[in-house]
């Protein structure tokens, strides 16, 4: 029995957010590490968070995880 579309969208949406929080720390360098602290900001703030690139990685990885979830449901 296939998964209903609204449930599939909800599963993908939830998976996307979980993967996003797993991907966010990759490649982050703080201002303190680079010794270029912008006045008025926290030294632990990231220099270049590259959120667009991380969103693309998150979308791809979420699609893979979602396909694995669909395959799991297909064998139930």
Closest CA to 16 of 65, 51, 50: 65
In a domain, 68, yes or no: yes
In a domain, 36, yes or no: no
- 3-state secondary structure (DSSP) of residue 50: coil
Strand partners, 30: 46
- What does the pLDDT profile of the chain (76 residues) look like in tens digits? 678 999 999 999 999 999 999 999 999 888 888 888 888 988 888 888 899 999 999 999 999 999 999 999 888 7
CB 28 within 8 A of CB 45: no
Number of structural domains in the chain: 1
Q: Which two tokens stand for residue 38?
A: 């912008």
Instruction: Count Cα neighbours of 29 within 13 Å in the Cβ-side half-sphere.
Output: 8
Q: Which range of residues forms the domain containing residue 54?
A: 1-27+50-76
């Amino acid at each position: 029995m296939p998964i209903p579309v609204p449930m599939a969208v909800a599963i993908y949406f939830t998976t996307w957010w979980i993967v996003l929080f797993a991907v966010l720390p990759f490649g982050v360098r703080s201002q303190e590490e680079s010794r270029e602290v912008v006045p008025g900001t926290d030294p632990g703030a990231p220099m270049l968070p590259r959120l667009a690139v991380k969103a693309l990685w998150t979308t791809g990885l979420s699609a893979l995880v979602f396909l694995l979830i669909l395959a799991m449901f297909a064998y139930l």
